[in-house]
Amino acid sequence: MMQAGEIESALDDLVIANRILANENVVDAYGHVSLRHPRDPRRFFLARSLSPDRVERGDLMEFDLEGNPAAGDSRQPYLERFIHAAAYEARPDVQAVVHAHAEDVLPFGITAAPLRPVIHSGSFMGEHVPVWDIRDRFGDTNLLVTNMPQGRDLARTLGGNNVALMRGHGFVAAARSLIEVVRMSVYVPRNARVLLAALRLGEVKPLSPGEIAARNAGYGIASGRGQAALARRDRRAQRRLQAILAGDLARLGVLGHARRLRAPAVEKRLALKPSDQAFSPLSGETCEFPIASGRSLIPGRITRPTRHRATLTP
Ligand SMILES: [Zn+2]
């Protein structure tokens, strides 16, 4: 059974996920990431209405699958929390959800051109990315998902897919872990950007279904695994999520050395040691990541530029 400390750790991860998505420009003043309660699948955690790059542990709220805040919590929630509630309600396999307005995906929600994975790191979105149009069932609205019927309609369009576009608005991404939904939400807009550029040049060659399956198998998202195996993997993921999230920042590379970030809790838990070796999180072996920034994922805890090493085992 998950200990209270592990829930706290999961919530720390959710704070970090907010910061990563903000740093990667997946979210700006708007957009959000949520995590299903590790011990109660009928509840999930999501920040109060706040820009993701401002979110701290104390800003996280708990909701039921109707989007109602926990009793006694009168803080202002996100208006579009129903996107998350309905996704968790419809998809027992989903542990984490992102909703964002990333500009690069928007053209594919307002034209007939399908968003397809065309780069290896875009494979996580899957072969098919459906488009949800709020106007189909709800007529003229402000395009925001402001109630459960709208959220459920979106979840129906999402179906068993990993990502759905929302016409003229953004996207929703759902995954079996926080790390997966963060990774997917970072790479979906990049894939969209590449696809847009390629479409100007001519015919586009997308990833094949076999390539998508091979990619997913390598990252452990592949379907067909038993639920027990998934649960075991998720428990492992929970224990190591912070380290992996922090590692992903370095692996993403585009952050650049000057902007690399770290999760302070990782240092304590994994007894990080100074190192300047290369980072290789996906090997499941030694994960090392340089930190050259005075900036922290959780404000006020990082004070000096340094380099650290974390060792992860699968
Ligand atoms: Zn929105």
Q: Which residue segments constitute the domains of the chain, with CATH numbers given?
A: 4-222 (3.40.225.10), 228-313 (no CATH)
- The pLDDT tens digits of the residues spanning 40-61 come to 999 999 999 999 999 999 999 9
With a pLDDT cut of 90, the percent of the chain lying above it is 64
- The reported pTM is 0.73
Among 6, 62, 80, 103, which one carries the catalytic annotation? 80
pLDDT for 5 beyond 90? no
- The pLDDT tens digits of the residues spanning 158-208 come to 999 999 999 999 999 999 999 999 999 999 999 999 999 999 999 999 999
- The pLDDT tens digits of the residues spanning 11-36 come to 999 999 999 999 899 999 999 999 99
Check if 66 is active-site.
Answer: no
- 226 C-alpha vs ligand 1 centroid, how far in Å? 33
- 171 C-alpha vs ligand 1 centroid, how far in Å? 8
Question: For ligand 1, a single-atom ion, which residues have Cβ within 5 Å?
Answer: 80
- The pLDDT tens digits of the residues spanning 125-144 come to 999 999 999 999 999 999 99
- 115 C-alpha vs ligand 1 centroid, how far in Å? 19
- 48 C-alpha vs ligand 1 centroid, how far in Å? 15
- 198 C-alpha vs ligand 1 centroid, how far in Å? 27
- The pLDDT tens digits of the residues spanning 252-283 come to 543 333 333 444 444 344 333 333 223 333 33
How large is the average pLDDT for residues 285-294? 31
DSSP, residue by residue, the chain: ---HHHHHHHHHHHHHHHHHHHHTTS-SSS-EEEEE-SS-TTEEEEEBSS-GGG--GGGEEEEETTSPBPTT--SPBPTTHHHHHHHHHH-TT--EEEEE--GGGTHHHHSSPPP---SGGGGGG-S---EE-HHHHH-S--S---SHHHHHHHHHHHTT-SEEEETTTEEEEEESSHHHHHHHHHHHHHHHHHHHHHHHHS---PPPHHHHHHHHHHHT--TT--HHHHHHHHHHHHHHHHHHHHHHHHHH-TT-GGG----HHHHHHTT-B---PPP-GGGTSEEEEEE--S--SSTTS--S-EEEEEE---
- 208 C-alpha vs ligand 1 centroid, how far in Å? 31
With a pLDDT cut of 70, the percent of the chain lying above it is 68
Kindly report which listed range (56-65, 152-161, 247-256) carries the lowest average pLDDT score: 247-256
